[in-house]
């Protein structure tokens, strides 16, 4: 993902997740929602935000790549 100097608060990440819900696989959406209930570092929040950003506009291959990265982030 491209580097961003903005820190994204939990609230923004939750909103971005909600915006992309219809495009994410159900189990990945639910796992991400649960993940957001844990204490997360700013780095994790930023990475999560950028994986979700414009997810709906990404190619199917890019979405699969992001799905893998989301799963890795939540481990």
How is the chain split into domains, by residue range?
10-33+41-73
pLDDT of residue 5: 74
- CA 50 from centroid of its chain's CA atoms: 6
Q: CB–CB of 25/57 below 8 Å?
A: no
Spans of the chain below 50 pLDDT: 1
Please give the pLDDT value at position 35. 97
pTM metric for this prediction: 0.90
- SS3 of 8, please? coil
Dist CA 34 CA 1 (whole Å): 23
């Amino acid at each position: 993902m491209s580097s961003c100097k903005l820190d994204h608060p939990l609230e923004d990440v939750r909103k971005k997740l909600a915006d992309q819900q219809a495009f994410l696989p159900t189990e990945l959406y639910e796992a991400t929602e649960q993940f957001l209930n844990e204490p997360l570092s700013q780095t994790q929040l930023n990475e999560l935000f950028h994986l979700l950003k414009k997810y709906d506009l990404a190619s199917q291959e890019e979405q699969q790549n992001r799905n893998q990265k989301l799963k890795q982030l939540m481990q």
